Amino acid sequence: MAKKIPPDMAELSVYVDKKLKLQFKLACTAQEKPMSEIVGLLMKQWLEIQATSPESEP
Protein backbone atom coordinates (compact mmCIF):
# COMPACT_ATOMS: atom_id res chain seq x y z
CA MET A 1 0.00 0.00 0.00
CA ALA A 2 1.31 3.45 -0.91
CA LYS A 3 1.97 6.08 1.74
CA LYS A 4 -0.88 8.50 2.28
CA ILE A 5 0.52 12.02 2.30
CA PRO A 6 -1.73 14.66 3.91
CA PRO A 7 -3.15 17.10 1.32
CA ASP A 8 -1.25 20.11 2.69
CA MET A 9 2.10 18.29 2.76
CA ALA A 10 4.76 17.38 0.19
CA GLU A 11 7.35 14.62 0.26
CA LEU A 12 11.02 15.68 0.33
CA SER A 13 13.89 13.34 -0.48
CA VAL A 14 17.50 14.31 0.25
CA TYR A 15 20.87 12.60 0.55
CA VAL A 16 22.85 13.09 3.76
CA ASP A 17 25.74 11.34 5.45
CA LYS A 18 24.60 8.06 7.05
CA LYS A 19 26.12 8.93 10.42
CA LEU A 20 24.44 12.36 10.44
CA LYS A 21 21.07 10.79 9.59
CA LEU A 22 21.42 8.25 12.40
CA GLN A 23 22.37 10.94 14.93
CA PHE A 24 19.41 13.04 13.80
CA LYS A 25 16.99 10.11 14.02
CA LEU A 26 18.21 9.18 17.51
CA ALA A 27 17.88 12.79 18.72
CA CYS A 28 14.35 13.07 17.31
CA THR A 29 13.37 9.74 18.85
CA ALA A 30 14.79 10.78 22.24
CA GLN A 31 12.57 13.88 22.13
CA GLU A 32 9.61 11.91 20.75
CA LYS A 33 9.44 14.25 17.74
CA PRO A 34 8.94 13.17 14.13
CA MET A 35 11.95 13.93 11.94
CA SER A 36 9.68 15.74 9.48
CA GLU A 37 8.59 18.19 12.19
CA ILE A 38 12.19 19.09 13.05
CA VAL A 39 13.24 19.34 9.40
CA GLY A 40 10.31 21.67 8.77
CA LEU A 41 11.33 23.89 11.70
CA LEU A 42 14.95 23.98 10.54
CA MET A 43 13.89 24.90 7.00
CA LYS A 44 11.72 27.77 8.31
CA GLN A 45 14.59 29.06 10.47
CA TRP A 46 17.01 28.93 7.53
CA LEU A 47 14.54 30.78 5.28
CA GLU A 48 14.06 33.49 7.94
CA ILE A 49 17.83 33.97 8.14
CA GLN A 50 18.07 34.18 4.36
CA ALA A 51 15.30 36.79 4.26
CA THR A 52 17.10 39.03 6.76
CA SER A 53 20.59 38.70 5.28
CA PRO A 54 20.40 38.11 1.51
CA GLU A 55 24.19 38.38 1.14
CA SER A 56 24.78 35.24 3.21
CA GLU A 57 25.68 32.09 1.33
CA PRO A 58 23.92 28.74 1.92
- Using one digit for the tens of pLDDT, what is the confidence trace for 19-41? 999 999 999 999 999 999 999 99
- Indicate whether 44 belongs to any domain: yes
Q: Which amino acid is at 58?
A: P
**pTM for this prediction:** 0.79
The domain tally of the chain equals 1
- Indicate whether 6 belongs to any domain: no
> CA 56 to CA 58: how far, in whole Å?
7
Task: State the residue range of the domain holding 26.
Answer: 18-52
The angle at the Cα of 21, spanning 4 to 41, to the nearest 5 degrees, equals: 65
pLDDT(58) > 70: no
